[in-house]
Amino acid sequence: MSTLAGKPVEKLTEHEAARELERLAEEIAAHDRAYYQEDRPKISDAEYDALRKRNAAIEARFPRLIRPDSPSHRVGARPSEKFAKVVHAVPMLSLDNAFDDQDVTDFVGRVRRFLGWGDDKPLVFVAEPKIDGLSASLRYENGLFVQGATRGDGTEGEDITANLRTIKDVPLRLAGKAPKIMEVRGEVYMTHANFAALNKRQEKEGKQTYANPRNSAAGSVRQLDPAITAARALNFFAYAWGEASALPADTQWGMLQQFKAWGFQVNPLIRRCETVQAVLKFYREIESRRAGLGYDIDGVVYKVDRLDLQERLGFVSRSPRWAIAHKFPAEQAETVLLKIDIQVGRTGKLTPVARLKPVNVGGVVVENATLHNEDEIARLDAREGDTVIIQRAGDVIPQVVRVIREKRPRSAKPYEMPRKCPICGSHAVREVDEKTGEEEVDRRCTGGLICAAQAVERLKHFVGRDAFDIEGLGGTYIETLYDAGLLKEPSDIFALTRKQAELDRVLREKRAEQSAERRAREGKAAPGSKAKRKDEGESKLIENLITSINNRREIALDRFINALGIRHVGETNARLLARNFHTIGEFMAAMEGKDALEQLNAIGGIGDVVAEAIKDFFDEPHNRKVLAHLLKEVDVRPMAAPKVSGSPVAGKTVVFTGTLEKMTRQEAKARAESLGAKTAGSVSKKTDLVVAGPGAGSKLAEAQKLGVKVIDEATWLKMIEGL
């Protein structure tokens, strides 16, 4: 016991107070572990409360001395006005999904082929329940918790440090020895019992209840007031890591054991499996126990155990090659298809949407479901008035699975897709593929830029989470501002910051119109004194919106390309383009050149269809004009090449051809990219190096014709040896 323990708080010097706060933080953390993790409390509740009370008293007298691992963080701190953004040092990538046994078998086969391993070589996986919660990343420096963030878009998340500190499963100080920097990742979730208790409190207090534990956990951890989060009884399972100055283990399993030693909760059901059969047996076991776990899971995750193999396997697009999520079958429900509406997307695609009689599916009330396209409607023979089975595909996107024909009303008529756009009246056609001569599956509006739906949807895409991510500028605002003439193209969004008075007027008029309509429906009188307070609140919302817009005047190249809404170019292809061209200037210059298609086709992963769509976009004068306006408003950050010390291939374009003997072609490409190289699928005058193995054919001939440097596999391996 410290000699300071009995000294009155008012008599402590600042130096003594700092020492006492350090002691209390360590002692209270130890008691928390004994109580919450080991179920073996070492002191009475009264003694524990006395320790926390003393800690609070010292902090009140010496607020400058509050520690990052202070126990006071567990009960919340001062509310935040908004969440700051956090750029992840190591991206938080998503997982590919498997939906049946064959998908899992195929995954294991892909891993073995990439590594060049036969079926007889042992390959161990770690299998773990996939928690249905909110992903979070916790950064520790010298063992102290200093920052926590949401996953966000995988590259950038929200700073929720204060809220994560309130969760008892999150150690504020790691027990034992820890690396200088350690970023622990996992899932914030809410148990069924705590979810039921929360909804009971919400209902009693006349507040809105939550649809399911996942939404409840996500909403709770994103409260601006950490005291609210503290009252929500959240939990956290650790299962992964991001940036680390050193790793204490060489296997996934070993890392999980270290997490437990540091004071984290690790799911006790996690198991090591040495065969595909063992993996699938574990899946069946977890599926049968799912309902009784006390928390929500939506599948099982399989990860290659050895970390050196994880490093060799690397990543493809935005997911690791060494892991996959085996999802549980989607939950289904029966309801009535009331109406089929048509939505027009940013590329002109007409998507039929089923408007449903509201029904609960897996804890979520579903009112709408996709019908995909007219071929799918014909296959289902779906008609308005039908009784249908719906499911949440992957437990996320509602879709119509089948029609119960024996319940069909006599008045139900076959559905016909409109031949004209319901928004602008232009012809809606199914384009013909020039190469195959077959009709495309989707019907599209031919109105292009004269179609308001396409313009509005493009703007919605532009501000979306995977693009510019402008908080507060939702679909309703965009529609209102478009109708008012304030938004026509992306650059107009940034011009709004110079039109605050006009923006304020339009939004006030819209709110007044909506209020009048609502009062008319409800038969209520005109508003009274509350109107002024609402006006003040709306002014604050507009100020926040302008701040959000200004905060997004700088953007990464891949997000910028994705935001442009080029057909067939989403997150994955945008990232491929950004990695290849590095800057917006280089990208635009290449697209204006005569060999644009050649350059695009040389990028691994960019096929003919995507290349043509990109070229078509830049060939359109209007698009180039819109892009020029936009670049006057924003700065586009270059796509940084991987930081590779001494790499002889950084920035070079490499093509592999022929048979490689020491590694698979896939692994060779992944290794080259990890060293900062760009890999291409064909040889062009932009190619810097061709690695040719036995059996090299046309690519080798093209390289020799163009005078491109050619080496064999042995020379390649010697070149990258030790890197």
pLDDT at 80 > cutoff 70: no
CB 93 within 8 A of CB 313: no
Tell me, what's the pLDDT at 635?
95
pLDDT at 675 > cutoff 70: yes
Reported as half-sphere exposure (CB side, CA atoms, 13 A), residue 477 has a value of 19
pLDDT at 535 > cutoff 60: no
Tell me, what's the pLDDT at 109?
95
What six digits make up the tokens of 438? 């077959």
∠ Cα 420 422 424 (to 5°): 85
pLDDT at 79 > cutoff 60: no
Give the amino acid at 268: P
Taking Cα atoms as reference points, which of 122, 131, 106 lies closest to residue 273?
122
**What mean pLDDT is predicted for residues 55-75?**
84
CB count in 10 Å sphere of residue 480: 18
pLDDT at 532 > cutoff 60: no
Evaluated on CA atoms 225, 226, 229, 231, the torsion sign reads: negative
- Across the chain, mean pLDDT equals 86
Q: Who has greater pLDDT, 188 or 541?
A: 188
In terms of average pLDDT, the best of 207-211, 320-324, 622-626 is 320-324
Round to whole Å and give the CA distance between 121 and 78: 56
Q: Who has greater pLDDT, 104 or 516?
A: 104
Q: Is 298 exposed, middle or buried (0-12, 13-18, 19+ CB in 10 A)?
A: buried
368 DSSP assignment: E
Tell me, what's the pLDDT at 232?
86
CB 180 within 8 A of CB 90: no
pLDDT at 250 > cutoff 90: yes
Q: Who has greater pLDDT, 22 or 181?
A: 181
Tell me, what's the pLDDT at 29?
83
Tell me, what's the pLDDT at 722?
63
% of the chain residues with pLDDT over 70: 91
Round to whole Å and give the CA distance between 135 and 356: 31
Give residue-wise pLDDT tens across range 164-177. Answer: 999 999 999 999 99
CB 504 within 8 A of CB 544: no
Least confident of 301-310, 330-339, 598-607: 598-607
CB 631 within 8 A of CB 585: no
Active site positions, annotated: 130
**What mean pLDDT is predicted for residues 259-282?**
96
Tell me, what's the pLDDT at 462?
93
CA dihedral 511→513→515→516, nearest 10 degrees, is 160
pLDDT at 299 > cutoff 90: yes
Give residue-wise pLDDT tens across range 446-482. Answer: 877 678 888 899 999 999 888 998 888 888 889 999 9
Tell me, what's the pLDDT at 35?
65
Tell me, what's the pLDDT at 237?
98
Least confident of 272-286, 526-540, 600-614: 526-540
159 DSSP assignment: B
* Sole residue written with tokens 């989607």: 330
DSSP 456-499: HHHHHHHHSTTTT--TT--HHHHHHHHHTTS-SSHHHHHHGGG-
What six digits make up the tokens of 363? 């804890």
Least confident of 53-67, 383-397, 457-471: 383-397
Detail the DSSP E strand segments found in 602-660.
635-637, 653-657
Q: 470 phi and psi, to 5 degrees? A: -90, 105
- In sequence order, the 6+-apart residues with CB closer than 8 A to the CB of 218 are 133, 134, 188
Round to whole Å and give the CA distance between 430 and 349: 10
Round to whole Å and give the CA distance between 251 and 126: 9
Round to whole Å and give the CA distance between 268 and 293: 11
Tell me, what's the pLDDT at 533?
47
Taking Cα atoms as reference points, which of 282, 165, 298 lies closest to residue 223?
165
pLDDT band, residue 379 (cuts 50/70/90) = very high
CB 471 within 8 A of CB 477: no
User: Which residue segments constitute the domains of the chain, with CATH numbers given?
Assistant: 9-67 (1.10.287.610), 97-327 (3.30.470.30), 332-429 (2.40.50.140), 452-552 (1.10.150.20), 555-637 (1.10.150.20), 653-720 (3.40.50.10190)
Round to whole Å and give the CA distance between 107 and 97: 10
Give the amino acid at 47: E
Least confident of 314-318, 579-583, 691-695: 314-318
Q: Who has greater pLDDT, 659 or 337?
A: 337
pLDDT at 5 > cutoff 60: yes
Give the amino acid at 162: A
Tell me, what's the pLDDT at 700?
86
CB 136 within 8 A of CB 129: no
Tell me, what's the pLDDT at 394?
53
**What mean pLDDT is predicted for residues 534-551?**
76
% of the chain residues with pLDDT over 90: 43
pLDDT at 633 > cutoff 90: yes
Evaluated on CA atoms 58, 63, 64, 68, the torsion sign reads: positive
Q: Who has greater pLDDT, 566 or 535?
A: 566
Taking Cα atoms as reference points, which of 678, 457, 469, 492 lies closest to residue 555?
469
Reported as half-sphere exposure (CB side, CA atoms, 13 A), residue 436 has a value of 7
CB 340 within 8 A of CB 412: no
